[in-house]
Amino acid sequence: MSTRFAAQGYSLPHPPHRLPVLGDIVGVDPRTPIQDSTALAARLGPMFERQILGRRFVFASGADVVGELCDEKRFEKFLPPGVESLRDIGADGLFTAYNHEPNWRRAHDLLRPAFTAGAMRGYHRIMVEVADDLIEHWERLSRNSSPTDVSSDMTKLTLETIGRTGFSYSFDSFASVETHPFVSAMVGALTYNQRRSLLSVPAFARPLFARSDRRYSRNKQYLAEVLADVVRTRRQSTGDFTDLLQIMMDAARDVDNPNALSEANIGYQILTFLIAGHETTSGALSFALYYLATHPEVFERARAEVDEVWGTGSPEFGQVPKLRYVRRVLDESLRLWPTVPAFGRAARAQTVIGDGYRMDAGDWAVVLVTALHRDPVWGDHPGEFDPDNFLPERIKARPAHVYKPFGTGERACIGRQFAIHEAVLVLGTILQRFDLRADPSYRLRIQERLTMMPSEFRVTPSTRR
């Protein structure tokens, strides 16, 4: 009998077929499960099983098997334990909704128009304003030759961007040196839930975790307060809003709208967007800046493009997608460090994938994107940073489904265009305005939380002469 995931009606794949299995013997470092599993994928092959703290996980990382798992006719999104545990915060919000929950379709249909390529035009001005806040902050640092933590600044920028574009709500992120308490509460709450999902603690041992349980309650309470403040601020405002919040509030008042969401679900969507809309892009920007700062030839080429396409002014909307090389830098950074490093897929009906691996209806596997992005289809040195991997002719020469930073199918990232426009705009702005000096002794270290971020990577920006 396989373990049932009651809420989703899914099961773990049936006991070992011919997959390499690795047990707990090597131990699992809770701080680096993705990096450890990625290293294992290189040894164990395109599909393997791993016992993590007594639970079985099937990982898929080979281009062929992932190609099959991305076939929407045979497979669908699955919430692995680490993601399912986030339902305590996101419930049936878009990211954590089960496929069968009606609010997923409603929210998807309601909000999709706000994420088309054309809709980005409406966000461009605010994105430029937030990038200007970053410029001001970095110009102050430049005057004192002060280094700054890149992930922390990118988090300020992306939180501010999603807050202002999606909810016309400012966190005033750049007003303080410290990380905004929303971010600390979010990271604390996500990490707590993820660790809890891996570690099954018997009831008698629960008191040992009383302190972290209490901290979690406080974090959750704080997130709820921010959420209430976002809604209260809107209710008290007059003016013509057209953002995500307004779309949801207008629909809720319209009795004929089949996609109207309840007040509770609107709350889950707000939290979902505030979290999914900033943490991921922040990591992507931070990795791209790491590669730019440590690859002078790439930096110069990217800067030459910005100078040619933008000149010295602030970019118009249409000038952002014209930064083709900067876009390749971003794509390549997301290849090496996809900030959402894994996603789950479950079989819709009994099927066989890869080298004869049987999956029954409901069996699930985790696509390990970090390892997929290092598959041999990426050449002989897949670990090396090379933006030209994304030249159009090279993209065409590769099979489909080998590049998956934004997930796949119907449940793929709704914010993809948003993230790309924001990230290219910000990278272009930094290249246009600043030289970056990184500590030459720094070696890339990665912090794994819900997403991945460079850890303690600092640059000293200096205003370009």
Residues belonging to the active site: 280, 406, 413
The CA distance from 286 to 149, in Å, is 9
* Closest residue by beta carbon to ligand HEM: 415
d(C-alpha 326, C-alpha 428), whole Å:
7
Q: Is 460 in the site for ligand HEM (CB under 6 A)?
A: no
At its nearest, how many Å lie between ligand HEM and the CB of residue 419? Answer: 4
β-strands 364-368, 434-438 pairing: unpaired
Q: From the list 414, 424, 426, 446, which residue makes contact with ligand HEM (rule: CB under 6 A)?
A: 414
DSSP state of 315: P
Q: Output 52 or 111, the one with its CB closest to ligand HEM.
A: 111
Question: C-beta of 146: minimal distance to ligand HEM in Å?
Answer: 27
Q: Is 407 in the site for ligand HEM (CB under 6 A)?
A: yes
461 near 144, Cβ under 8 Å? no
**Vertex 50 angle, CA 46 and 54, to 5°:** 165
Tokens standing for residue 386: 């090379």
Q: Residue 413 in contact with residue 115, Cβ under 8 Å? A: no
Q: Could you give the CA distance from residue 289 to residue 276 in angstroms, rounded to a whole number?
A: 20
Q: Which stretch binds ligand HEM (CB under 6 A): 66-74, 215-223, 410-418, 440-448?
A: 410-418
Going by C-alpha positions, the residue among 62, 59, 55, 52 that lies closest to residue 27 is: 52
Distances (CA, A) of 189 to 43, 85, 339: 33, 10, 18
Q: What 3-state class would DSSP assign to 346?
A: strand
User: Which residues, in sequence order, are bridge partners of residue 447?
Assistant: 453
The nearer residue to ligand HEM, 44 or 271, going by C-beta atoms, is 271
If binding is defined by CB under 6 A, does position 183 make contact with ligand HEM?
Answer: no
| Subset of residues 342 to 371 that bind ligand HEM, contact rule: CB under 6 A | 343
Among 265, 281, 389, 460, binds ligand HEM (CB under 6 A): 281
Rule CB under 6 A: is residue 247 a binding residue for ligand HEM?
A: no
Nearer to ligand HEM, 265 or 280 (CB): 280
272 part of the interface to ligand HEM, by CB under 6 A? yes
Who contacts 19 (Cβ-Cβ below 8 Å, separation ≥6)?
Answer: 47, 48, 49, 58, 357
Q: Which residue type is seen at 74? A: R
Tell me the number of residues near ligand HEM by CB under 6 A: 25
Cβ nearer to ligand HEM, comparing 85 with 339: 339
Least Å from the CB of residue 245 to ligand HEM: 13
Q: Tell which one of 52, 323, 347, 419 touches ligand HEM (CB under 6 A).
A: 419
- Choices 182-190, 195-203, 275-283, 457-465 (CB under 6 A): range interacting with ligand HEM: 275-283
What CA–CA distance (Å, rounded) separates 191 from 11? 24
For ligand HEM, the closer CB: 141 or 457: 457
The residue among 142 and 370 lying less far from ligand HEM, judged by its C-beta, is 370
Q: Is residue 163 close enough to count as binding ligand HEM by CB under 6 A?
A: no
Q: Interface with ligand HEM includes 449 (CB under 6 A)?
A: no
Pick between residue 249 and residue 330 the one whose CB is nearest to ligand HEM: 330
The torsion of the CA quartet 95, 335, 364, 277, rounded to 10 degrees, works out to -10
CA distance 104 to 224: 21
- Binding segment toward ligand HEM, per CB under 6 A, in 68-76, 131-139, 276-284, 321-329: 276-284
Angle (deg, nearest 10), helices 296-310 and 263-294: 110
Q: Which of 55, 74, 105, 108 binds ligand HEM (CB under 6 A)?
A: 108
Choosing from 87, 106, 196, 411, the residue that interacts with ligand HEM (CB under 6 A) is 411
Nearer to ligand HEM, 44 or 106 (CB): 106
Any contact of residue 327 with ligand HEM (CB under 6 A)?
A: no
CA distance 24 to 55: 9
Among positions 70, 368, 413, 452, the unique one binding ligand HEM when judged by CB under 6 A: 413
Q: How many helices (H) and strands (E) does the chain have?
A: 16, 15
Nearer residue to ligand HEM within complex by CB, 390 or 418 = 418
276 near ligand HEM (CB under 6 A): yes
Q: Among 205-213, 335-343, 442-450, 455-463, which window interacts with ligand HEM (CB under 6 A)?
A: 335-343
For tokens 């014209």, the residue is 322
Does residue 283 contact residue 151 with C-beta atoms inside 8 Å?
yes
Neighbours of 396 (CB within 10 A): 7
In residues, how long is the chain? 465
Least Å distance between CB 368 and ligand HEM?
12
Check binding of 77 to ligand HEM (CB under 6 A). Answer: yes
Is residue 380 classed as helix, strand or coil in its secondary structure? coil
Intra-chain end-to-end CA distance of the chain, in Å: 68
| Closest CB 414 distance from ligand HEM, rounded Å | 5
Query: Does residue 405 interact with ligand HEM by CB under 6 A?
Result: yes
Residues at the interface with ligand HEM (CB under 6 A): 77, 94-95, 108, 162, 272-273, 276-277, 280-281, 284, 339-340, 343, 405-407, 411-415, 418-419
